[in-house]
Amino acid sequence: MKALIIGAGQGKRLLPLTETTPKALINIGGKTLFEWQLDALVDCGVSEVVFAAGFNIESVRQEADRLARKHAPVNLRVVHNPFHAIADNLATCWTVRAEMVGDFLLLNSDTLFSAPVLEKLLSSDIANVTLAIDHKDRYDSDDMKVELDGTRLVDIGKTLEEARVGGESIGMLLFRGAGPGHFVDALESSLENEAALKHWYLSVIAAMAGTMTIETANIHGLDWCEIDYPHDIGIARQMVAQWQTQQPVHLRSVGSS
C-alpha cells in the first residue's frame, strides 16, 4: 500500500508558527505532525509514502530523510509542487498523479489521527473510492461537509445546506481497483480549466460522485483532529499526551476542523 500526503501550502492561518515552518513540521508532543502520520501509516502496513511539498521544501526533505532512517526500509520520498504559491491542493494532487498507480491512500498533511482511524478505512468494504468521514452535532463554516445516501457520497463541500449534511470529511481517502485511474482522469480534466488552480481536490471527488459510486467509512469515536488554527494545536497536543499515557480520548467532539 502506498500513501500520498498532500502538504504543499504554508498554512497561513497558523502564522506566526508557520512563518518558516511548514504546517506538517509543527511539533506536537515531541514529534512533528509528519512523524505522527508516518508512524501510524507504517503501523498499518504502508510501505511507500510520497509527500507532495512546496513551501520551504528543504525543511520537509530534511525531515523526510530523518524519518526514512527511522522507518527503513519504508520507501519515503518528497515530490515538489512548484505551483504551491499560486494554487490550491487540487494542483498539488495533479503534480503527483504519476504516483497514482495501484491502490493508494490520499491524506492531508494537517490531519492528526490514531492508527485505528486508518485501520477502519483500510478494512472498509471494497470500493473504487472510499472517503473517511466523521459526524458531530454541529458543523461550522470551515468543515468539509458531506451529503450521504446511506453510506454513498452524494456531495461534498463547505457550503452544503445544513439539512443536507450527514457528516464531514477528515481529509483521508482510499483508492482501489479502478479508482486511481478515474481520479487521475478527473484531475486532468479539471485542470483544463485554469480556474481549477484555486480549487480543492475534494471538488473533483464531488464531481466524481455524480458519475460513479464513492463510498464512505465512518470513523466516529476514534481520535483525530485537523490542524488549521492555533487553538487546534492545543487540542492536538492534549490528544497525543493522552495517547502517550495510553488513556482513551474522544476530543474530536469538542475540537474544530
Q: What is the pLDDT of residues 25-58, one digit of tens each?
A: 999 999 999 999 999 999 999 999 999 999 999 9
Could you tell me the CATH number of the domain that includes residue 145?
3.90.550.10
pLDDT, tens digit (0-9, with 9 covering 90-100), for 151-166: 999 999 999 998 999 9
Output the pLDDT for position 252. 41
Task: State how far the alpha carbon of 122 is from the alpha carbons of 74, 102, 173, 174, 192, in Å.
Answer: 18, 14, 10, 7, 32
Confidence of residue 191 (pLDDT cuts 50, 70, 90): confident
Confidence of residue 209 (pLDDT cuts 50, 70, 90): very high
Q: Is the pLDDT of residue 180 over 80?
A: yes
Question: Per the structure, how many domains does the chain have?
Answer: 1
Confidence of residue 255 (pLDDT cuts 50, 70, 90): very low
pLDDT, tens digit (0-9, with 9 covering 90-100), for 59-106: 999 999 999 999 999 999 999 998 888 888 899 999 999 999 999 999
Output the pLDDT for position 251. 42
Grid coordinates belonging to 127: 470500493
Angle between helices 57-70 and 33-43 (to 10 degrees): 40
- Average pLDDT across the chain, whole number: 91
Grid coordinates belonging to 103: 491502490
127, exposed or middle or buried, with CB in 10 Å at 0-12, 13-18, 19+?
buried
Output the pLDDT for position 187. 94
Q: What is the DSSP string of 83-99?
A: TTTT--HHHHHHHTGGG
Q: Torsions phi, psi of 239, nearest 5?
A: -65, -50
Mean pLDDT on 106-128: 96
Domain extent at residue 108: 2-253
Return the minimum-mean-pLDDT range out of 85-89, 114-118, 157-161, 189-193.
85-89
Mean pLDDT on 206-222: 95
Rounded to two decimals, what is the model's pTM? 0.91
Q: Is the pLDDT of residue 16 over 70?
A: yes
Confidence of residue 250 (pLDDT cuts 50, 70, 90): very low
Output the pLDDT for position 257. 37
pLDDT, tens digit (0-9, with 9 covering 90-100), for 126-139: 999 999 999 988 89
Other C-beta atoms closer than 10 Å to the C-beta of 120 total 19
